[in-house]
Amino acid sequence: MKPTNSVFTGLETTVFERMSRLAMEHNAINLGQGFPDVDGPQDVREVAAHTLLEGPNQYPPMLGLPALRQAVADNNKRFWDLDIDWQSEVVITSGATEALADSIFAMVEPGDEVILIEPLYDCYLSLVKRAGATPVFVQVNAPDWELNEEQLRKAFSSQTKAILINNPMNPTAKVFSRQELQLIADLCIEFDCYAICDEVYEHIVFEDQQHTPLMTLPGMRDRCIRIGSAGKTFSLTGWKVGYITAPPNLLEPIAKAHQFVTFTTPPNLQKAVAYGLNKEDAYYAALESDLRSKRDLISKPLAQMGFRVLPCEGTYFVTCDFSATGFRGNDVAFCKKMVEEAGVAAVPISAFYGTEGPQTLVRFCFCKKDEVLQEALRHLQTWMGQFAAV
């Protein structure tokens, strides 16, 4: 028989699913896949439940419910001072994952190059390849994950159609500095290309750090496609409600891709997310401070156990280097042993690379109840004791 599509055939199941399955098999505490263990705000869920019962439950408008598109535009204004026309510049998708697929399919084609920054969120590479474009990799490296000007410049060419940036960045927990964003903006303008900005963690940025959407930089308003996710902002990852903000001429083909990928998103969830986005500033402040305290709760004990805990400026992930613990083996072996023996699941960072990546880094997800984190730390403490620190 003829072969099935070469991008997806034989592709590994995502590391998140694999680690969650392993966690279940071993009855382990799952600090691997990124999802909170407490559902988001009750009032937001009540709006969804009420709307589900009261209806309507038929196809909403293809671009999304007007109330939600308005709420996305308002949120852009409230937090980032972006003036967005909700009618021509916003589309609602079934999660940021669909938003990424729609954006990539609408923007690139064979012959185009797309710059990807490694470590990268796993779906980027397959989507770019499926669109027929050529990925060009630029790595940022631990511990600072700083973008190197020379390397980035080298990645741009006359073939570059777009750069995909994830800010705040999963799995590095890095928030791009103003200078780095300026560098990206300058190169996008010089090489006349677009930026697909995965900003799903826009509201999870800690203390003295400041999230700046690339779209707000001079000259970038018309070149950026900005993606958000209700899953992250409202701790409701299973809802899969995403949103794209882009200038009308870019949104137009993206909406056409959307109309043939999912066409629309469940109306009750859209209505509830519209309500959620309009929540008071205190909601957003609490999201940040709760997660910050969880970050702090696990960071020090992890360091005391012998991990080198890398800086965490945003997202709900912390990356640790285990090379000083005396463990012999790579990150995949470390995570496998840890889930089997310590009963704690994490994610090996090498899974976030299309090319060769580092081999001694693991990512812990900390959006879990304090007692769950404490229990995981107890398990780890005992388990880590067996390795002779070097």
- Binding residues for ligand PMP (CB under 6 A): 34, 95-97, 121, 166, 170, 198, 200, 229, 231, 237, 240, 242
Sheet holding 317-321, edge to edge: 308-309, 317-321, 361-365, 347-348
Measure the CA angle with vertex 6, ends 19 and 198; round to 5°: 55
16 binds ligand GLN (CB under 6 A): yes
319 binds ligand GLN (CB under 6 A): no
Binding-site string for ligand GLN from residue 168 to residue 207, where x marks contact by CB under 6 A and - marks none: --x-------------------------------------
For the CB of residue 265, give the shortest distance to ligand GLN in the complex, in Å. 17
| Cβ atoms of residues 230 and 274 within 8 Å | no
Count of positions on this chain that bind ligand GLN (CB under 6 A): 5
Q: How many CA atoms lie within 13 A of 305 on its CB side?
A: 23
Closer residue to ligand PMP in complex, CB, 234/322: 234
Which uninterrupted H or E stretch holds 347? strand 347-348
Closer residue to ligand GLN in complex, CB, 34/358: 34
Closer residue to ligand GLN in complex, CB, 228/267: 228
Residues 141-170 that bind ligand GLN (CB under 6 A): 170
**Helix, strand or coil, per DSSP, at residue 320:** strand
198 binds, among ligand GLN, ligand PMP, none (CB under 5 to 8 A by kind): ligand PMP
Return d(Cα 156, Cα 159) in angstroms, integer: 8
For the CB of residue 198, give the shortest distance to ligand PMP in the complex, in Å. 5
Binds ligand GLN (CB under 6 A): choice among 26, 34, 68, 196: 34
Residue with tokens 């023996």: 341
Closer residue to ligand PMP in complex, CB, 89/98: 98
For the CB of residue 227, give the shortest distance to ligand PMP in the complex, in Å. 7
| Cβ atoms of residues 138 and 117 within 8 Å | yes
For the CB of residue 341, give the shortest distance to ligand PMP in the complex, in Å. 28
For the CB of residue 97, give the shortest distance to ligand PMP in the complex, in Å. 3
Closest CA to 211 of 166, 248, 256: 166
Pairing of strands 29-30, 344-345: parallel
33 binds ligand GLN (CB under 6 A): yes
For the CB of residue 199, give the shortest distance to ligand GLN in the complex, in Å. 13
What is the CB neighbour count within 10 angstroms for residue 87? 12
96 binds, among ligand PMP, ligand GLN, none (CB under 5 to 8 A by kind): ligand PMP
Return d(Cα 96, Cα 86) in angstroms, integer: 18
Which residues make Cβ contacts (< 8 Å) with residue 118, sequence separation at least 6?
137, 138, 139, 140, 352, 353, 354, 355, 357
For ligand GLN, the nearest residue by Cβ is 34
For the CB of residue 197, give the shortest distance to ligand GLN in the complex, in Å. 16
Q: What is Dmax (Cα atoms) for the chain?
A: 63
Pairing of strands 224-229, 242-245: antiparallel
Closer residue to ligand PMP in complex, CB, 267/306: 267
33 binds, among ligand GLN, ligand PMP, none (CB under 5 to 8 A by kind): ligand GLN
Closer residue to ligand GLN in complex, CB, 33/172: 33
Strand partners, 224: 195
231 binds, among ligand GLN, ligand PMP, none (CB under 5 to 8 A by kind): ligand PMP
Instruction: Please give the single-letter amino acid code of residue 353.
Output: Y
Closer residue to ligand PMP in complex, CB, 121/364: 121
- How far is CA 92 from its chain centroid? 17
For the CB of residue 34, give the shortest distance to ligand PMP in the complex, in Å. 6
350 binds ligand GLN (CB under 6 A): no
240 binds, among ligand GLN, ligand PMP, none (CB under 5 to 8 A by kind): ligand PMP
Instruction: Please give the single-letter amino acid code of residue 111.
Output: G
CB neighbour class for 314 (10 Å; exposed up to 12, middle 13-18, buried from 19): buried
Which residues make Cβ contacts (< 8 Å) with residue 107, sequence separation at least 6?
161, 162, 194, 196, 225, 250, 253, 254
Rule CB under 6 A: which residues touch ligand GLN? 14, 16, 33-34, 170
